[in-house]
Structure 1
Amino acid sequence: MTTPSMKETPADEVEVGGPKEEEELKLSETAEAAIKEMCHTEFCRPDQELTAQINELFPTEQSLAQLDTVIAAVEAEIHDLDVELASLVESHDEIGAQGEAALQEAQKAMVELERRIDSIRGKTRSSDEIVREMTRDIKQLDVAKRNLTSSITTLHHLHILLTGVDSLAVWVDQRDYASIARQLPAILNVLQLFDDFQEVEQMAKITNRLNKLKQSLTVQLAGDMKAVFQAGQLSERVTDMCRVAAALEGTVKANFCKWFIDQQLAEYTVLYAENEEGAWLDKIEERYKWYVRKLTDFERSGLAKVFPADWDMGRLMTKEFCNVTK
């Protein structure tokens, strides 16, 4: 008796898991990408149709004999996934702890950075104050330097004045007109620098002493110059006398020039006086010739070179000759 063959029924006709769920789980693209990365088998695909998968695994009733094997494989896969998920969760906890620690370290670093910034800001303010103090000190030192320089210069001038007055007293007694001619202008120039200090007792004493020396020198010089010219002792010493006369204030130079010119024209005033024959108008040419001879002798004798060039003694003589003649 032949057993009738069982009709093979496709697995898709077997209802599994009851009616289909009408609502499907919707995952984000990021979650699906993460699941795909974790899954290594076709059972993990989120777009997998379970019915189609079951029919593919069990195409015939005979293939149901492998159900236990398939279940074991699925359970093994689930176990592996559970292990991997547990590992991921543990890793996530560790990463979270590390992240928290890193966050705390970052916060500490930010606090330290803020502290350093405040410190730098404080140092900057302190540096600004130091710069202002240094600037103020530099200004004070600059003023002190100018005052010190002025004091040193004043002391130097005072030393020149004191030593100059002492030396001048010695030179006047010795009639050392060469030294007097060299130093007297400098002494008088330095004295002018102390015009604002004449109320100071010591300065007033120095000024009075110098004025007395000048008065004594004026009288002495006038007598010595007249004596030298009257004796005809012309030398470089006479030039020094003239330089001293030019340096002295007052009428020393003018008085001596007048005396010298009167001496040179003394003969002329006698020869051509109003009561003399030479005073007539027809003697004008003789007057001119006389003065030409006199001026020529003045130049040739070297007398003109005795006087400083800026005195222009020849011009002064000519001017006085004209005044006397008219």
Structure 2
Amino acid sequence: MTILKRLQMLIISYDSLTDLTMDEIEIKNYKKIKEMLSVVLELMMHFQTYKSIDEINTLNKRIGSLKNKIIDNIFNDFETQLSRHLSDESQLIYGCEILDLLGQAYREKLSNWYINNVLKDITTIFKSSEEAGSLDNLKRRFIYFQRILNNFEKNQAKLFPSDWSMNLNLTKSFCELTNKDLKEVTSKETKLNGSGPVDVNLLINSLTDSLDFENYLNVLFKDSGYNFDSSISVVFEPYLNIWIKNQVFLIVIQTQRLC
């Protein structure tokens, strides 16, 4: 009798969940969907040993298909939110909680997708092969990201649970991307192959700007426990000997003049 009652509850809950996902509204009621999905998943756990029964196996497959539909809806609604504001964006945080309920992989997939979309302009405008990606424009790159971060805090932070630490992960990804780009740019602009002179002042100014930016991030995320030291400035360490040689050269020249 207990099994039959649970099966009846499962079918009723599944039907209710299906109705919620079929609602023709701009954004689904993810709060209710999460509540009903939790019930369905919990009830289905009691029937794992009954999958050899055709009806149970069919129901299990339908639940799996419904989960995939819910996941697709969440991603579609986030995509819509990035292009235009939804009428009830407060529901998206429950969409994130649904992904947490379904597994870490879905949470990571949405986080990575969101971060890549937000940093898309950075990768386009400040591409290492473009003028804007040169060391001369490094400070511009930092300022541009600060605007992105400010916009996130103002308009999009509320879409994600606080324990997702999206602002921190967004910043980490920016630093990793900048580190990668700067390795290409410094290799080109320092001209270590001997094809031309090195702009030592540009090199040092870029290092200084990077250190200042890292310090800004450390202050901004002081409560996170994460340290941004050397996340970007480390790129310039292999080239410090160029500055040292230049300083030695200047000292020698100055000494000769005094003599």
TM above 0.5, yes or no, is yes
Instruction: State the partner residue of 2:21.
Output: 172
In structure 1, C-alpha distance between the alignment counterparts of 2:89 and 2:72, rounded to whole Å: 21
Maintained 8 Å contact 1:177/1:241: yes
Out of 74, 77, 89, the residue aligned to residue 221 of structure 1 is 74
**Is the aligned partner of 1:239 residue 2:88?**
no
- Tell me, yes or no, if structure 1 residue 184 matches structure 2 residue 40: no
Q: Alpha-carbon deviations, 1:24-49, whole Å to 9, x = none?
A: xxxxxxxxxxxxxxxxxxxxxxxxxx
Per-residue deviation, 1:306 = 1.6
Cα deviation 1:178-231 (Å, max 9, x = unaligned): 311222123213222322221122221210121121223233332232113311
2:107 corresponds to which of 253, 266, 269: 253
Change (3 A) 1:307 1:204: same
Give matches, 1:1-326, under 5 Å: 152=2, 154-174=3-23, 175-233=28-86, 235-249=89-103, 251-301=105-155, 303-326=156-179
What is the aligned length? 174
Is the 1:168–1:180 contact (alpha carbons within 8 Å) kept by the matching residues of 2? yes
Runs of 4+ with >6 A deviation: none
Q: Distance in 2 between matches of 1:319 and 1:214?
A: 31
C-alpha change, 1:293 and 1:273, in structure 2 (3 Å) is same
Q: Could you give the per-residue CA deviations for residues 230-277 of structure 1, whole angstroms, max 9, x where no partner exists?
A: 112262122233233333458543333222212211221122101222
Would you say the 8 A contact 2:93–2:160 is kept in 1? Answer: yes
The SS at the match of 1:240 is helix
- Which AA in structure 1 matches 2:19? V
User: Once the two structures are aligned, what percentage of the paired residues are identical?
Assistant: 24
In structure 2, C-alpha distance between the alignment counterparts of 1:166 and 1:256, rounded to whole Å: 27
Structure with bigger RCO (C-alpha 8 Å, 6+ apart)? 2
Cα distance in 2 for residues equivalent to 1:201 and 1:297: 52
CA distance in 2, matches of 1:265, 1:169: 35
Q: Which amino acid aligns with 1:216?
A: K
In 1: Cα distance, 2:140 partner to 2:104 partner: 38
**In 2, Cα distance between the equivalents of 1:284 and 1:167?**
54
Q: Which has the larger radius of gyration?
A: 1
Q: Provide the rounded CA distance (Å) in 2 between the counterparts of 1:250 and 1:315.
A: 18
Native 8 Å contact 1:265 1:321 kept in 2: yes
- TM-score normalised by L of structure 1: 0.48
Matched residue, 1:110: none
Distance in 1 between residues matched to 2:4 and 2:76, nearest whole Å: 37
Question: Which residue identity lines up with residue 194 of structure 1 in the other structure?
Answer: F
Letter in 2 for 1:203: I
1:36-85 deviation digits (Å, cap 9, x = unpaired)? xxxxxxxxxxxxxxxxxxxxxxxxxxxxxxxxxxxxxxxxxxxxxxxxxx
Inter-CA distance 156–309: structure 2 relative to 1 (3 Å threshold): farther
Q: Tell me the distance in 1 between the aligned counterparts of 2:109 and 2:146.
A: 25
TM-score, reference length from structure 2: 0.59
2:90 and 2:158 in contact (8 A); partners too: no
Shift of the 310–268 alpha-carbon distance from structure 1 to 2, 3 Å rule, reads same
Cα offset, 1:314, TM superposition:
0.9
Amino acid across the alignment from 1:260: Y
Q: Alpha-carbon deviation of 1:155? A: 4.2
Residue 305 to residue 176, structure 1, CA distance change in 2 (3 Å): closer
